[in-house]
């Protein structure tokens, strides 16, 4: 039985992961989640990308926000504000159960992997969701205006406003990759690796920064295909486009993302509107598709296309 | 400026505390709360009696349950059940903010007193709410059926079903009373001490078990008046009546509660339906009143009566 391994951040990545989960047979998908966005807040360990993936794959995600749960209420936040608690990071009443229970279990000595896996099974998800590491990795950004900031301080509290000059994935150098992550990359049953259309710097970057991951991807015999998060020079969501210039990488382009991944890629999928850039991409084979995923059909269609394209690259 | 000190557990005590807060000038009431019911659950420190008092005095309590907040929602609990969390202790979405924020601040090194005081001020409560101690005291009950149980395991999880043979207030022997508690008892401005109609064994008992409290009450020059939680041989709420027989104290009676408090009392207020028991009470002066508090008017009327009765006992 073959399986597909996807690398994903939050919103955009979770859309394609959902598409993959719907077009692949049950249990044929494993998704490695970025944990660089994780942080401690109100005494709780919050893992935004794991949660966005879990909620999306379980069909309980909030389609309006892209994060959190659908049919959500906000009475916890309202009451927290009354007693002077911090409210810049909004936690819905349903969503909060995930953080409280995860934190309790982590304190009791369970691993993030084990908790994540138990939660996804209880929510009826067939795909595996693998935290990139059980060791804490915490993304920090060096900003022009405020110096080094914790990621969520930059991303949520300051709404990605400050100018980012550098990134650091604290803890990454000594983090051990999820054991099943490297094993999957070396597994002959691996059909393809899909790098989801997530921010290459802050969503995929931390995954690639875990020791051993780049080498294992390079050594991997299955095709590695990335999907561009940039469409027509803009990101669908988040600060991806803005970060290009801030990090000195020039204008945000689909070809720029391919160049950033360099020789990790065997294939690269970008939107048809960016067809003109195809000739600028050195290395990976390029395929064009409709990469904007508005509907569930869009997610499934892109997932099918990416899988077929990857299959066509098998040596 | 004189002030009144009330000793209280949860529901019944909070009703009279609210009455006292409404008939006394602002800031003339200080309420000492039982913390023997406190426990750690889901990684959170939960203080049921402090919270019931705080919500009642702030006017945000749930009149239907007697605990928790009004206009409450339960989406946290529903989501917690989905991922396999423990749901026997029900935490509403609004209520949860208190526990999360308190736990965060306790872990940051603040005292329970400081946090409780900040919360009551933010909720617009003029009365002081004093935890009986900042040191953890945890009530345990020895049951016929299951041996020793933590209080909330007995009280909520098993709905006070097991037969109670003994009580233990773990930590009480070394707990330091809230410094303002003993200071208040020695303060010449103290007008009276009101022991609210709470369970004498498990709500007032832990307060009296804190070293120094009994002596300070005995030495206190202001009148000490208790209000019976037993009316016509039954408790309004909770296991008070049931515990009488289980603890070998015979049938539950208003006079039995007075005997339990012994010579701590200068005055005792019991319901008019128990008038026949007045002659059995040795020691304190006895007054009859309507002690069942269904309406806000009932709370205020009983509070006024108790204060006037206590004033009449001043030496």
What's A190's domain CATH number? 3.40.50.10680
Judged by a CB distance cut-off of 8 A, whether residue A26 touches chain B is no
Cα B103 to chain centroid distance, Å, stands at 21
* Neighboring chain A residues of B61 at a CB cutoff of 8 Å: none
The mean pLDDT of A185-209, rounded to a whole number, is 97
Residue A91 lies in a domain: no
User: Is A221 found in the same domain as A148?
Assistant: no
Q: Are A139 and A37 in contact (CB under 8 A)?
A: yes
Averaged pLDDT score across all residues of chain A: 96
Tell me how far CA of residue B121 lies from CA of A83, A99, B55, in angstroms.
9, 28, 12
Residue B202 lies in a domain: yes
The mean pLDDT of B124-151, rounded to a whole number, is 97
The pLDDT assigned to A255 comes to 96
Kindly indicate the confidence band of residue B237, based on its pLDDT and cuts at 50, 70 and 90. confident
Max alpha carbon distance in chain B (Å)? 61
Residue A208 lies in a domain: yes
The pLDDT assigned to B131 comes to 98
Averaged pLDDT score across all residues of chain B: 96
Give the Cα separation of A105 and B134 in Å (integer). Answer: 27
Q: Give the tokens for residue B218.
A: 């005995």
> In which domain, by residue range, is B75 found?
3-137+170-312
Strands A138-143 and A164-170, bridge-based pairing? antiparallel
Residue B74 lies in a domain: yes
How far does chain A reach from its first CA to its final CA, in angstroms? 19
CB contact under 8 A, B83 and A44: no
Quickly tell me which residue has 């993936």 as its tokens: A53
Kindly indicate the confidence band of residue B296, based on its pLDDT and cuts at 50, 70 and 90. very high
Judged by a CB distance cut-off of 8 A, whether residue B98 touches chain A is yes
Residue A105 lies in a domain: no
Mutate to test the interface with B, among A90, A95, A101 (most CBs of B within 10 A): A101
Burial of A311 (C-beta count, 10 Å sphere; 0-12/13-18/19+):
middle
User: Is A230 found in the same domain as A161?
Assistant: no
Per-residue model confidence as pLDDT tens digits over A56-96: 999 999 988 888 999 999 999 999 999 999 999 999 999 99
| pLDDT surpasses 80 at A315 | no
Kindly indicate the confidence band of residue A260, based on its pLDDT and cuts at 50, 70 and 90. very high
Name the minimum distance, in Å, from the CA of A249 to any CA of chain B.
41
Per-residue model confidence as pLDDT tens digits over B204-235: 999 999 999 999 999 999 999 999 999 999 98
Strands A3-8 and A29-33, bridge-based pairing? parallel
3-state secondary structure of B98: helix
* Neighboring chain B residues of A103 at a CB cutoff of 8 Å: 43
User: Is A190 found in the same domain as A122?
Assistant: yes
Residue A146 lies in a domain: yes
Name the minimum distance, in Å, from the CA of A290 to any CA of chain B.
35
User: Is A50 found in the same domain as A146?
Assistant: no
Give the Cα separation of B125 and B122 in Å (integer). Answer: 8
The pLDDT assigned to A64 comes to 86
| pLDDT surpasses 80 at B315 | no
User: Is A153 found in the same domain as A247?
Assistant: no
The pLDDT assigned to B63 comes to 86
Per-residue model confidence as pLDDT tens digits over A1-13: 799 999 999 989 9
| pLDDT surpasses 80 at A301 | yes
CB contact under 8 A, B85 and A100: yes
**Which ipTM did the prediction report?**
0.94
**Total number of domains in chain A:** 2
Per-residue model confidence as pLDDT tens digits over B36-86: 999 999 999 999 999 999 999 999 999 888 899 999 999 999 999 999 999
The mean pLDDT of A163-191, rounded to a whole number, is 97
| pLDDT surpasses 80 at A288 | yes
Q: Are A290 and A274 in contact (CB under 8 A)?
A: no
Per-residue model confidence as pLDDT tens digits over A201-218: 999 999 999 999 999 999
Q: CB-CB: which of A43, A71, A118 is closest to B103?
A: A43
Residue A243 lies in a domain: yes
Residue B188 lies in a domain: yes
Beta bridge partners of B271: B289
Per-residue model confidence as pLDDT tens digits over B256-270: 999 999 999 999 999
The pLDDT assigned to B236 comes to 86
The pLDDT assigned to B27 comes to 85
* Closest-CA residue of chain B to A72: B75
Judged by a CB distance cut-off of 8 A, whether residue A104 touches chain B is yes
Mutate to test the interface with B, among A73, A100, A117 (most CBs of B within 10 A): A100
Name the minimum distance, in Å, from the CA of A147 to any CA of chain B.
25
* Neighboring chain B residues of A118 at a CB cutoff of 8 Å: 83-84
Kindly indicate the confidence band of residue A236, based on its pLDDT and cuts at 50, 70 and 90. confident
| pLDDT surpasses 90 at B26 | no
């Amino acid at each position: 039985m073959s399986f597909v391994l996807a690398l994903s951040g939050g919103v955009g990545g979770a859309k394609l992961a959902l598409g993959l989960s719907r077009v692949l047979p049950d249990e044929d998908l494993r998704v490695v989640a970025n944990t660089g966005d994780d942080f401690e807040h109100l005494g709780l360990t919050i893992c935004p990308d794991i949660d966005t993936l879990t909620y999306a794959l379980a069909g309980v995600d909030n389609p309006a926000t892209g994060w959190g749960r659908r049919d959500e209420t906000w009475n916890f936040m309202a009451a927290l504000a009354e007693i002077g608690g911090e409210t810049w990071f909004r936690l819905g009443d349903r969503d909060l159960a995930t953080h409280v229970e995860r934190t309790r279990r982590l304190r009791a000595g369970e691993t993030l992997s084990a908790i994540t896996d138990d939660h996804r099974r209880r929510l009826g998800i067939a795909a595996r969701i693998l935290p990139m590491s059980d060791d804490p990795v915490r993304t920090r950004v060096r900003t022009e205006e405020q110096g080094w900031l914790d990621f969520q301080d930059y991303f949520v509290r300051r709404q990605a406003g400050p100018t980012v000059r550098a990134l650091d994935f604290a803890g990454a150098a000594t983090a051990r990759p999820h054991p099943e992550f490297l094993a999957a990359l070396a597994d002959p049953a691996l059909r393809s690796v899909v790098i989801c259309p997530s921010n290459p710097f802050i969503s995929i970057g931390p995954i690639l920064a875990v020791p051993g991951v780049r080498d294992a991807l390079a050594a991997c015999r299955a095709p590695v295909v990335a999907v561009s998060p940039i469409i027509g020079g803009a990101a669908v969501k988040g600060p991806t486009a803005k970060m290009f210039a801030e990090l000195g990488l020039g204008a945000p382009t689909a070809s720029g993302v391919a160049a950033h991944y360099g020789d990790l890629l065997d294939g690269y999928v970008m939107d048809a509107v960016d067809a003109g850039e195809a000739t600028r991409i050195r290395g990976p084979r390029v395929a064009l598709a409709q990469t904007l995923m508005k509907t569930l059909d869009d997610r499934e269609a892109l997932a099918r296309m990416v899988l077929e394209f990857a299959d066509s690259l098998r040596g």
